[in-house]
Chains A and B, each alone.
Chain A
Amino acid sequence: MIYFDNAATSWPKPPGVVEAMVHFMEQVGANPGRAAHRRAVESGRIVYEAREAVCELFHAPDPLRVVWSKNVTEALNLALRGLLRAGDHVVTSSMEHNSVMRPLRALERSGIEVTVVPCSAQGVLNPADVEQAVRPHTRLVALNHASNVVGTLLPVAEVGAICREHEVLLLVDAAQTGGAYPIDVQADQVDLFGFTGHKSLGGPMGTGGLIVGERVDERQMEPLMRGGTGSHSEYELQPDFLPDVYESGTLNAVGLAGLRAGVRWVLSQSVDRIRAHEVALTQRLIDGLRSLPSVIVYGTLSADLQIATVSFNIVGTESSEVGLRLDDEYGILCRVGLHCAPAAHKTIGTFPDGTVRFGLNGFNTIDEVETALVAVEELAREVQ
């Protein structure tokens, strides 16, 4: 079996992740930040150290400005729905996932103006187009760091500089890049950074978060939910300090125990090393697919300009048929269709049919890539 669906969720998880979760369930078990007994403190410590690990990885200065959420979608919703008010203008790209597009389309109905900056058919965003879209009442620019459809990296640092110049906040959706591509939220001037735990950070599903930069005033960003936080329990009003203001209810501590182990593993391997391996796999996959007759490969076709996610089609065959046969006949697991990103597929010209997507990660091998290329070649030859 070859697992090429890492863009949806990574598998397998790094060594130590499952063990950390079993350890939590068997040996810790208590609610983080609630009681004060030794197990509760240990649970709180695990959750806190996961914040520290995330900060180290993304070069964020303050662990208390890491807000946990159940996934990156929740983190992005917190930023968008928490910050934007009627009369505000927001700029985004035509390569966004529905985790950004759907909240923005809903906000449009409450008087928030949305500008979608078009990207090229390769998914490339020109930062100058973002600058041109900025207006006096622009509050926020929301961008994915890399497309979940074709892997194309967006120029986050360049847009970060533009945002500072125009006093606009920058929200980055790092679902696809966190742990797979070097990120420095301070150097890139990212104000709000949404990440997911269950992809390249190696953690389990149900983990993710938002790093809230110093330029964001938490008193200006409404929480999605209110409730118990284990702090300031004497008040019936929500606390106004980070991270508690956005962390009502019991956290997924067992998941965060796994995430702590996953991020520590990524740090021990170094993102640069993981990235170098993924670049080699990606370029070989792109070159191999492009050499096949009847196969169209989307995106920049250059591994240096993208992450390890490659979309293609076999001319004359539905992507769903290709996906089914890859699974049934070759044991290759991938994802076909629109990948929850209709805007991105419209941009690259594959809407509404979609594509076959191979989502690789650091655990994949060059042998797996070669095996998959043979499989696609056989399927493509049949069509001819």
Chain B
Amino acid sequence: MTPETYAVIFVYSTSYALRAEKLLIRAGIRTTLIPVPRHLSSSCSVCVRITRSDREAAQQALERAGLEIEGVHDI
């Protein structure tokens, strides 16, 4: 079995991450909130981890809801 690969979505703050999480769950996308990896950002809060294959669908779902994204990175 291939190990799962992930991407993380950066948003402004924990409030935004929680909003993103709810929007993504509603869109049927599995999410986990994790600490922002230090090598990717100096933010001290959380980001939204998704499976890499959901990356496009997730971005679309957030854009539809008007939630601003700071960045998306594969990890």
Interface residues of chain A: helix, strand, loop or mixed (majority) = loop
**Smallest CB separation, A226 vs chain B (Å):** 15
Task: Name the CB-closest residue of A to B47.
Answer: A36
Among candidates A62, A63, A230, residue contacting B13 with C-beta atoms closer than 8 Å = A230
In the bound complex, how far is the Cα of B25 from the Cα of A114, in angstroms?
48
A62 to B14, CA, bound (A): 15
CB distance B14 to A230 under 8 Å? Answer: yes
Which B30-49 residues have a C-beta within 8 angstroms of A? 33-36, 42-46
A231 near B12: Cβ-Cβ < 8 Å: yes
Using A230-B45, A231-B43, A231-B45 as known contacts, say yes or no to A41 and B14 having CB atoms under 8 A apart: yes
A66 to B: closest C-beta gap in Å: 9
Contact of A36 with B12 in the complex, beta carbons under 8 Å: no
In the assembled complex, B69 has its CB within 8 A of some CB on chain A: no
What bracket does the count of chain B residues touching chain A fall in?
10 to 19
Would A241 and B12 count as touching, CB distance under 8 A? yes
Interface string of B12-23 (1 = CB under 8 A from A): 111111110000
State the CA gap A7–B66 with chains docked (Å). Answer: 38
Give complex CA distance A232, B13 in Å. 8
A234 & B42 in contact (Cβ 8 Å cutoff): yes
Contact A48 B18 (CB under 8 A): yes
Given A64-B19, A231-B43, A233-B42, also A44-B14 (CB < 8 A): yes
Within 8 A of B (CB), among A3-32: 32
Asked if A229 is at the interface (CB within 8 A of a chain B CB), the reply is yes
Would A32 and B14 count as touching, CB distance under 8 A?
A: yes
Instruction: Return A219 CB to nearest CB of chain B, in Å.
Output: 14
Report the nearest B residue to A52, measured CB to CB: B22
Q: Is the CB of B43 within 8 A of A41?
A: no
Quick check: A44 and B15 within 8 Å, CB to CB? yes
* Residue in B16, B43, B46, B66 whose CB lies within 8 Å of A233: B43
Cα distance A45–B19 in the bound complex, in angstroms: 9
Q: Are A34 and B13 in contact (CB under 8 A)?
A: no
Q: Is the CB of A231 within 8 A of B13?
A: yes
Q: Which chain B residues lie closer than 8 Å to A47 at the CB level? A: 15
The answer to whether B18 and A45 touch across the interface, beta carbons within 8 angstroms, is yes
B21, closest chain A residue (CB)? A45
A362 at the binding interface (Cβ < 8 Å): no
Docked complex Cα distance between A241 and B14 (Å): 13
Given A36-B33, A41-B33, are A51 and B15 also a contact pair (CB < 8 Å)? yes
* Contacts A36-B46, A44-B14, A45-B18 supplied; 18 other A-B pairs, CB < 8 Å: A33-B45, A34-B44, A34-B45, A36-B44, A40-B14, A41-B18, A41-B33, A44-B18, A48-B18, A64-B15, A231-B13, A232-B12, A233-B44, A234-B43, A241-B12, A241-B68, A244-B12, A244-B13
